[in-house]
Homo-oligomer: A and B are copies of this chain.
């Protein structure tokens, strides 16, 4: 038997082609397959159309060792997965009397007064040569078909039915067929760089990784206010992969330096929180254009009450003066969006909150309110302690919420660098 190495997932259901519904089963399936060292190389969503499904199965099966179809196994005319598979693989459907008997049992056991509608016998139709996968949580049985050295698996769409059936396959038939090289992933998060810059720095390393044993795959993702580098590798031994990825992460850290803020999946607010907690420091923020987002992110982290005591949101000049003691002359002379004001805000909240670190953020989130000298997206961030005062002026692009998020990211990153 061919070892299973490459898989594709097809989700079946017209509701998954509307603007309000996503196929999420494939995430869970991917995770389980990756654990067995099986790569998912493509996913597809098809509606309740036999023809489209036949076409998709045919096209995908040519490229993979394992095709998992989920959904479309119900008892109605809409449920076309069994038929489409039978047509594509040229394996005629026949009723499996054992399944029909179980369906009738199940129907009776659920206390329905009437006998099972004959239409439900559709669920007992099985392509020739298929093995039935029991469904303890629903009526639709799953199917496993060995076909020309490949495997086709049919699973029902409801997540709890699918999950328990998949778990059984992962422990049994799938594990027996998988290549046995588990895939391990690491994510490196970087702030203060742009994608193409990170990419250029890493180009020579990519080439080494591609030639390494095990080879390491890398993907760069530009996120708002951050660059993510996803590294993955597989090898026969989980330890070997883990070590190879740890070395790879170290290589990235050596090449990128202090701009790397997370190598273990933690978000920036958690990294900053851990630094504050480890040093026993408290932080307070004086937020103007971020409107509370920085403190909201800091307090998304469980246990953040150890280092967050109070913050203030001061939109107006009056609020900046009243709550933070920013001198009126400073506001008049430099304007609210200026480095002197941001620094005074940071100092103001630091003193008021008796915190060790103060953040002051003031800017123009947009879409209106910009001027040629102070355009929309201009944000000034100050971070101060009793002994150090840092301030930077940024220019962010994008809509209001994106400007706010990037400003919060910049502020948290400045705190991280100050504490590192």
Query: Chain A residues in contact with chain B, CB under 8 A?
Result: 13-20, 22-24, 27-28, 30-31, 34, 40-49, 52, 55-56, 59, 62-63, 74-78, 110-112, 117, 119-120, 137, 158, 160, 185, 194-197, 199-200, 206, 217, 219-222, 228, 230, 287, 290-296, 298-300, 302-305, 308-316, 318-319, 322-323, 353, 365-368, 395, 397-402, 404
Contacts and interface: CB of A to CB of B under 8 A. Distances in A.
This chain's copy number in the assembly = 2
Nearest to A164: B399
- The 3 A-B residue pairs whose C-beta atoms are closest, nearest first, are A292-B292, A291-B299, A59-B59
A194, A298, A313 — which one has the most chain B CB atoms within 10 A of its CB? A313
A17 B401 CA distance: 27
A217 B313 CA distance: 44
12 contacts: A13-B221, A17-B41, A17-B43, A19-B185, A41-B49, A77-B206, A120-B196, A292-B296, A305-B316, A308-B315, A310-B315, A310-B319
A313 B359 CA distance: 14
Contact of A46 (B42, B199, B314): B42
A137 B30 contact: no
Nearest to A206: B77
A157 to B, nearest CB: 9
A35 B58 CA distance: 31
A52 B43 CA distance: 11
Given A291-B296, A302-B400, A395-B111, A17 B45 contact: no
Given A18-B30, A78-B220, 19 more contacts: A13-B221, A17-B40, A20-B27, A42-B45, A44-B44, A48-B219, A75-B195, A75-B199, A160-B402, A291-B292, A291-B298, A292-B295, A292-B311, A296-B296, A309-B315, A310-B316, A310-B319, A311-B312, A312-B323
